[in-house]
A and B are shown apart, each in its own frame.
Chain A
């Protein structure tokens, strides 16, 4: 693996024995600044990421957060203005996309319209001068994997959106890249098909064991499929973690707001004891939160998920966070009911309650009710 333009099949994963495997993709201080008229626009601020072999990794964020730019820098379509990109430990900064061992699935699929499905899938292997018998075999295997064997001789325009999507996937996967980059690949599909394809993608990833880097703005998609997620906003990674970590313990206000529904509470710390900060709201109401580094009289912001809160008519236990309010809205959604409760300091808190047989119809609009949750379910957010 010295200077590499020739391809050595079966070299993947067969790295130097003994040494710990290098991450499939690593970004060190990678940034991208565009010139825009007289000034400059920074799409990505120096970010550091390590994506492991075989991982399903998502870059999640709103449009314009830099996730697609980051992916395009990994693929080689954009050159970073700072930092180093390594694929399997090898520095590829400045290497053109056709000489990087990663393949991309485009949002628009970008299939070759003048070629058949089979020719589309064979394109990458032909460039690598793989013997034609092997190309035939691998294309057939791949079409089988994406269940399009009977469509091999069709042109892309004769396929449905979901089928085109699978051709795009097959065309990239057939090359057995060290990582597959997917840029909102399900964005153009309708909801039902999208959900089916999410499971399908996850199955394929498990079967082929290739590292997937998945760009999406859809938080539920990222939570469903990923092993780890990097939540991006304004060109920086706000939080990096497993779906559960990101959902349960959002690190920033942005993450709390972007992933699922969060209640944001503000208040002044009364006391800190045993590492728990207590914010009092009077009349036996208080909120407890893990308060490392907070001090009395400090203004803090904390967050709690709607499904962690219990709504009750009677006063809850004093070692829980508990707060009273007036029910402003009740939305019945079948398996759950969503309540909006306004507290004494005019904050609206959203509560999701399971409609189990004994807990239905807990409160009506206009009722006064108690809200309570365990102290470890609220998190102090920076700023």
Chain B
């Protein structure tokens, strides 16, 4: 760099003053701080040594809430419900969304345009609208709201995300690779099992995890269709009126840590693969 500058301007023009931190860097840090301060706050307040129900001002450091993390049976149940819904959503959306994405990326068929439209509509429609519509549907067909209706609703709004991720992968995949498998003696099922599926797997995984994350923290649609069922977000919302117990912070921190660990594992594996 210096040599090049010297050659270009041998008369040694006075160096222009450059700030050590550029505006771009400053902005990046500002965004990161803005994103992570609330999370840091949540983690910090899981260690807050409070005596009442209000966990809003710092009282002192303690680990006792981690020891009593599961002190509220109905909160535990809500968390279990959330995980059951999340995993079911991930599996059902993962499978149907992958098949949908594969079909839309690979084949031309009647009704393809409509499928496309419906898929994007499911993503872009306001959650309040989807929630209200689903509730009135369930009432009309006389279906009791509860675990099943929540899973149905979550699959409905997450399946498009999986389908779109998988479709993007399918469309960049060379169809000759599957032909090569057929040519080498694999029947269509073997070709799918050994070639198509492994190539789509990263996209399916990404779509599945995305639907899990969307399902776990969904509040609006769940409120409409949950009936008697309580989930983690619904429980927290309910408890705001009387004060959120530090156990919520503890569980939030644990969920966050699990997420970070999974991300790190994914990055490490991807590095090692390439």
**Which of A77, A108, A171 is the one whose CB lies under 8 Å from B184?**
A171
A254 contacts partner chain B, Cβ-Cβ < 8 Å: no
B183 touches A113 (CB 8 A): no
Cα–Cα distance between A112 and B199 once the two chains are bound (Å): 9
Binary interface profile of A, 80-123, with partner B (CB < 8 Å = 1, else 0)? Answer: 00000000000000001111001110111011111000000001
A97-B179, A110-B177 known; A175+B198 contact, CB < 8 A = no
A206 within 8 A of B: no
A137 at the interface (CB under 8 A from B): no
Digitize A169-181: 1 where CB-to-B-CB distance is under 8 Å, 0 elsewhere: 0011001000000
Q: Does A124 contact B (CB under 8 A)?
A: yes
Residues of B within 8 A of A172 (CB): 183-184
Instruction: For residue B174, give the distance in angstroms from its CB to the closest CB of chain A.
Output: 5
Decide if A192 is an interface residue (CB 8 Å cutoff).
no
Q: Is A128 located at the chain interface by the 8 A CB criterion?
A: yes
* Given the contacts A110-B176, A112-B177, A114-B198, A128 and B182 also touching, CB distance less than 8 Å: no
Known contacts A114-B198, A114-B199; A98/B174 CB under 8 A: no
Shortest CB-to-CB span from B22 to chain A, Å, is 35
Contact B187 A98 (CB under 8 A): yes
Judge if A35 is at the interface, Cβ distance under 8 Å: no
A75 at the A/B interface (Cβ < 8 Å)? yes
Is the CB–CB distance between B180 and A98 below 8 Å?
no
> Which A62-79 residues have a C-beta within 8 angstroms of B?
75-77
List the A side residues contacting B115 at CB < 8 Å.
Answer: none
> Quick one: which of B176, B180, B274 has the most chain A CB within 10 A?
B180
* B84 contacts chain A at the CB level, 8 A cutoff: no
Q: Judging by beta carbons under 8 Å apart, are B182 and A96 in contact?
A: yes
CA of A254 to CA of B183, assembled, Å: 34
Q: Cβ of A98 and Cβ of B185 under 8 Å apart?
A: yes
Residue pair A106, B179 in contact (C-beta under 8 Å): yes
Task: Say yes or no: B180 contacts A104, CB within 8 Å.
Answer: yes
CA distance A127 to B185 in the complex (A): 6
Q: How many residues of A contact B (CB 8 A)?
A: 26
Neighbouring A residues of B50 by C-beta, 8 Å = none
Closest to A168 in B: B180
Q: Which residue of B lies closest to A103 (CB)?
A: B183
Instruction: Report Cα–Cα, A234/B137, bound state, in Å.
Output: 59
CB distance from A67 to the nearest CB of B (A): 16
* Nearest residue, chain A, Cβ from B175: A110
Interface string of B179-214 (1 = CB under 8 A from A): 111111111001000110011000000000000000
B181: contacting residue among A75, A112, A157, CB under 8 A: A112
CB-based contact B176/A124 at 8 Å: no
B186 A108 Cβ-Cβ under 8 A:
no
| A183: nearest chain-B partner, CB-CB | B176
Q: Which of A75, A103, A108, A112 is in CB contact (< 8 Å) with B195?
A: A112
Closest A residue, CB atoms, query B201: A114
Most buried by B among A96, A103, A112: A112
Q: Is the CB of A110 within 8 A of B179?
A: yes
A114 CA to B177 CA, complexed, in Å: 11
A182 CB, nearest partner CB in chain B, Å: 12
Give the distance in Å from the alpha carbon of A123 to the alpha carbon of B193 in the complex: 13
Q: Closest CB of chain B to A70's CB: distance in Å?
A: 16
B199 touches A98 (CB 8 A): no
- Are B184 and A123 within 8 A (Cβ)? yes
B176 contacts which chain A residues (CB < 8 A)?
A: 106-108, 110
Interfacial chain B residues near A127, Cβ < 8 Å: 184-186, 190
Question: Are A123 and B179 in contact (CB-based, < 8 A)?
Answer: no
Chain A residues closer than 8 Å to B195, beta-carbon distance:
112
Residues of B within 8 A of A175 (CB): 184-185
B179: A residues at CB distance < 8 A: 77, 97, 104, 106, 110
A175 CA / B185 CA spacing, docked (Å) = 10
Interface pair B180/A112, CB less than 8 Å apart: yes
Assembled-state Cα–Cα distance A251/B187 (Å):
43
Query: Scoring A residues 249 to 275 as 1 if CB is less than 8 Å from chain B, else 0, what string do you get?
Result: 000000000000000000000000000
Cα A77 to Cα B188 with chains together (Å):
13
* Distance of A382 from chain B, by nearest CB (Å): 38
22 contacts between A and B (CB under 8 A): A77-B179, A77-B182, A97-B179, A98-B184, A98-B187, A103-B183, A103-B184, A104-B183, A106-B176, A106-B180, A110-B176, A110-B179, A111-B177, A112-B181, A112-B199, A114-B199, A123-B194, A124-B185, A127-B190, A171-B180, A171-B184, A175-B184
Task: Beyond the given A127-B184, A128-B185, please list 19 additional residue pairs across the A-B interface where CB-CB is below 8 A.
Answer: A77-B179, A97-B183, A98-B187, A103-B183, A104-B183, A106-B176, A108-B174, A110-B174, A110-B176, A110-B177, A110-B180, A111-B177, A111-B180, A112-B177, A112-B195, A123-B194, A124-B185, A171-B184, A172-B184
Write the residues of chain B forming the contact surface with A, with a CB cutoff of 8 angstroms. Answer: 174, 176-177, 179-187, 190, 194-195, 198-199, 274
* Top 7 A-B residue pairs of the complex, sorted by shortest distance between their CB atoms: A127-B185, A124-B184, A110-B176, A110-B180, A110-B177, A97-B182, A114-B198
